[in-house]
Structure formats: structure tokens, C-alpha cells
Amino acid sequence: MKNIIILIVIFVSCSISVAQVFPDNYVTVNGARLWYETEGSGEPIIFISGGPGFSHVYFKPHFTQLSWNFTLIYYDGIGRGRSDLATLPSDYSIERDVADLEGLRQALNIEKWHMYGHSYGGLVAQQYALQYQEHLYSLILANTMHSAEMWQEGCNNYYYEIKNQYPEAWSSIKRLADQGKKESSPEMAWISVDTLPLIYFYDVSNVTKLATDSLPWNSDVYYAIVGEELFCLNPKLQFLDFRPRLSEIKVPLLVLAGRYDRMALPRYQLQYEMYARHAEFYMFEKSGHFPFLEEPNRHMQVVREFLLRKY
């Protein structure tokens, strides 16, 4: 979710769940304290947030209805929200997030859980499924990427949209790039604020539905994983590609996409149908990167029916 932190800082709406939410808790996993809370009862569902670098907060209260049938587990990965910071930037990685998820499962004494990974969280979910699918009931991949190629094309499209729709912002970006500035530089921070709703939403007014708290995003996590260079991903990600192995995921799989998602592009989302032939696929026609915000009723119906189906 490139640079979307700026959007969330500016457009904040505070929401409170009407369902019972138990007090927050901590467990120590791989030497770090991870925060989590649960809601509801039944088979557990773990929610993995995007960014990378976001806390769990933007999920709530949009999934509370599922607590009627399931135990919802919200958690903050290392460096996010209320969890501990990492000692070294290299500790922020997909591999560490997967290891921490498995450690969290063991600490909570859960044999199996359902998994919902959104955006970057879907990358973590895919890697987890390939390593630990014996501990999964099912897997939901929402507006995520299957490869570095797809991720890079999303970044390319991000700048393409700015170049064409916001040429004033594009001129500033190019000027700073020519000066050798990195994406993480303070000068870059506010240039594309106005462009972000276009990238992530079908209806830009829906940006106000995003909820956050005082620790919504850790830029150290983001730049350690994605990289600080303009226009390109961290070279460490160049070999990331789940497509050749998606057929190894045998648990029920649901892939969700937004027709107007200009980061997790539909052109690539459709490839899941090719590489994971047993997967169910749903395209939300009036959504961008956040179908659970833009088409909440339909999103809840699709997810609930998938989770309650007997396989």
C-alpha cells in the first residue's frame, strides 16, 4: 500500500465495535512481544494487515459480523501498532512475519485457523500457507500480490496515474528524483497526498471510512521490506514469485480483487485463476484496494458464505 499512510493520517474516522472485544494481550514470540486481541467465538480467523507497516486497526469494525460464528484474532506484527520494535531493520521481512505468525499460533494453543491476508498481508499469508498449511482451515487473499513482478507493476501504475492525472505532482517527483532524493526523504512525503484516493478507491470519498489509531504505521518496517528507492522495489524481493507453487496450496482458497484497484492490478489478479485452479475468485466491481470499505455488505456476504461452506 504505497505511501497510503499519508492518506490515513489525513482522513481519520474513529469506529467502535458493537460486539464484545476482550482486553488486549501480549505474547512473546521469537524474542519480541506481539499484541493481539480476540472477538467472538468459534473457529479462529487471523487477520494480517498490509502496508507493510500497518497495525490491525483498519480492519475494525468491518469484520465484527463474523464474530457471530468465529473467533476473530487481530494482532500487530513486529514493529507495528502496540507490538515491540525490532532490534535490527533486517528483522522486518516476510520471513520474520511468517515465523511470528506460526509462533503466535503455538502460543495461543490453536491447532488450525482461517487466515485473511490483505495487501502485503496476503504475501505473508501465501508464504505461511506454503510452509504451514496443515494448520489452516482456509485461506483468503484480499487485494494482494503473487509476485515481485505484480508488485512492481502496481508501483509503476501508481506513478503512471500520477503522471497523467496529477502532472503537477509528477513534475515535483521527477525534480526530486533528479536530485537523488529517495522515496523516504522528507521532501517526498506530501507531494502525492491528493493522488492517493484515486489509487486506492473506486469512490474517493470512501477514504473517510479508514480507521486508525495513534500508531497506524511504522515507516521503518515499510522501507526495510519495500526499499527506499523511487520507482523500484527492494532488490531483495526480485525472486519473490508464488505462482509456480500456488497449486501446492490445497486448503480452500478465496481470492478477492477490486476492479478499480490501481495497485494490486486486476490484470494480475486474474492470474490466480490460472495458477491456483481450485481457488474461488471474486471481483468487486465498485471497489478499489478496500472492498470491505467500499462494498461492505457484498464483501461480508462473499466471505461469510466461503467460511461457512462445508468442504
pLDDT per residue as tens digits for the range 239-296: 999 999 999 999 999 999 999 999 999 999 999 999 999 999 999 999 999 999 999 9
Residue whose C-alpha cell reads 508464488 in the numeric block: 242
Q: Give 54-97 pLDDT, tens digit per residue.
A: 999 999 889 999 999 999 999 999 999 999 999 999 999 999 99
Task: Give helix 148-165 / helix 167-178 axis angle, nearest 10°.
Answer: 120
Q: What is the pLDDT of residues 147-170, one digit of tens each?
A: 999 999 999 999 999 999 999 989
Residue 3 DSSP label: T
Task: Mark 154-173 as b/e (b = at least 16 C-beta within 10 Å).
Answer: bbebbbebbeeebeebbebb
Q: Burial, 242: exposed, middle or buried (Cβ in 10 Å; 0-12, 13-18, 19+)?
A: buried
The answer for residues whose C-beta is within 8 angstroms of residue 23's C-beta and 6 or more apart is 37
pTM, rounded to two decimals? 0.91
pLDDT for 271? 98
- The helix (run of H) or strand (run of E) holding residue 305 is helix 296-308
Q: Give me the chain's average pLDDT, please.
A: 89
CA nearest neighbour of 58 among 264, 219, 302, 290:
290
Q: How many domains does the chain have?
A: 1
The CATH code of the domain that includes 162 is 3.40.50.1820
Range of the domain at 227: 4-308
pLDDT at 214 over 80: no
Q: Cα 293–101–89 angle (5° rounding)?
A: 90
Distance in angstroms (rounded) separating the CA atoms of residues 224 and 220: 6
Q: Which residues pair with 36 in a beta bridge?
A: 25, 75
Which of the four pLDDT bands, split at 50, 70 and 90, describes residue 212? low
| Over residues 203-229, mean pLDDT | 82
Q: Which residues contact 221 (CB under 8 A, 6 or more apart)?
A: 51, 52, 53, 77, 79, 80, 92
* Residue 64 CA to its chain's centroid (Å): 18
pLDDT computed for residue 27 by the predictor? 95
Q: How confident is the model at residue 134 (pLDDT cuts 50, 70, 90)?
A: very high
Q: Where are the beta strands (DSSP E) in 20-93?
A: 25-29, 32-40, 43-48, 70-76
Report the distance separating Cα 48 and Cα 135, nearest Å. Answer: 16
Residue with cell 475468485: 281
C-beta separation of 257 from 282 below 8 A: yes
CA gyration radius, the chain: 18
